[in-house]
Amino acid sequence: MSNALETRDYSQFRIVPRTPVIGGWIEGCHLSELNGQGMADLREALWTYGALFARKQNLSFDQMKQVALGFGDRLEEHTFAPTMAAQGHPEVMHIRRRNTADTTSTTDVWHHDVTARKHPNIMSVLQASEVPFGADTLWSSMTAAYRWLPEELKRFYASVEVEHDSLYLAMRHNFGTPEILDRIAANREHAIHPAVIAHHVTGEPCLFVGNAYVQRIKGYPTDASEALIKIVTDMSKMPEFQVRHQWEPGDIAMWDNFGTTHYGVSAVIGNHPRELHRVASWSESVTPTAWTGNDTPALKAVA
């Protein structure tokens, strides 16, 4: 593909591409030690590469939160997922899975996070504590996916909006204990977003549908809506747009929640737990807005 990602030296680190389309290794720094210029470079790198990865970071929860605040002025406090609130960190989501009869994975669908909100997360910082062999995570570029579509489909999806709903998420994918389902219902979230958005920093077009919170294409009958949604949700499955990360303890992954989708592989984990922690940032000033086909503006230094 044209405009392939390249290795780039920034002021305090280097980024080495993982694929020609998405993903980069962060080399030469500990994320907790970046100064103002380093954080500005990290923002630019994330918008450029879509997903970034660093080995042996072992960030504290406070350090994870500080990195996320470099991209948005608010930290998410998840409305239904387990968090570390009892330890004083309600902004840290606790992703833990064991291979038990009552466990259902909630990550093994291609999705953007929390799209049933008016202001979805801008980005996330995810750190591995323990991940069994094979329980990897994948990311897919939704800008590359949009550009791959035929022109007729580009125009169609740029003309429609999609309804997103948190309760529909739970029912569509049949997950959650009764307690979690009650929590989702009590804090039900619903939002309508364009199917193709202009990235809030780069201005690039991104498919913004995913296969989690999506309920229907606004104004379309159910059968037609499901078929049209499937076309774009299947785009995430194309290997040409993907990067796959095999976790090691202490690894950090961060991703652009508008420009990428992601998928947590369930794998066969036996008696081994899969445990990670996630911090995400958002802002009331950042809302998904429709792509209009205008020229892409120059990359900005801040979110």
User: Mind listing the pLDDT tens digit for each residue in 7-60?
Assistant: 999 999 999 999 999 999 999 999 999 999 999 999 999 999 999 999 999 999
Residue 1 banded pLDDT, cuts 50, 70, 90? very low
Q: Please check whether residue 3 lies inside any domain of the structure.
A: no
User: Mind listing the pLDDT tens digit for each residue in 225-269?
Assistant: 999 999 999 999 999 999 999 999 999 999 999 999 999 998 777
Task: Please report the pLDDT score of residue 297 as a whole number.
Answer: 43
Give the CATH number, domain containing residue 195: 3.60.130.10
Task: Please report the pLDDT score of residue 199 as a whole number.
Answer: 98
Task: Please report the pLDDT score of residue 220 as a whole number.
Answer: 96
Distance (Å, rounded) from C-alpha 211 to C-alpha 231? Answer: 11
pTM of the model: 0.93
Contact 109, 212 (CB under 8 A): yes
Distance (Å, rounded) from C-alpha 110 to C-alpha 213? Answer: 10
Residue 176 banded pLDDT, cuts 50, 70, 90? low
Task: Please report the pLDDT score of residue 298 as a whole number.
Answer: 42
Q: Please check whether residue 295 lies inside any domain of the structure.
A: no
| Cα-only R_g, the chain | 18
| pLDDT above 70 for 78 | yes
Q: Residues 262, 243, 270, CA angle at the centre, nearest 5°?
A: 70
pLDDT mean across residues, the chain: 91
Q: Please check whether residue 302 lies inside any domain of the structure.
A: no
Contact 259, 49 (CB under 8 A): no
| pLDDT above 80 for 181 | yes
**Phi and psi at residue 254, to the nearest 5°:** -135, 145
Residue 299 banded pLDDT, cuts 50, 70, 90? very low
Q: What is the domain range of residue 205?
A: 8-282
Burial 229-256 (b: 16+ CB within 10 A, else e): beebbebbeeeebbbebebeeebbbbbb
Q: Please check whether residue 12 lies inside any domain of the structure.
A: yes
* Mean per-residue pLDDT, 132-139: 94
Residue 6 banded pLDDT, cuts 50, 70, 90? very high
For the chain, give the percent of residues with pLDDT over 70.
Answer: 92
* Mean per-residue pLDDT, 80-103: 82
More confident residue, 298 or 130: 130
Distance (Å, rounded) from C-alpha 199 to C-alpha 197? Answer: 6
Structurally, the chain folds into a number of domains equal to: 1
- Work out whether strand 24-27 and strand 51-54 pair parallel, antiparallel, or are unpaired: parallel
| pLDDT above 70 for 99 | no
Q: Please check whether residue 162 lies inside any domain of the structure.
A: yes
Q: Please check whether residue 201 lies inside any domain of the structure.
A: yes
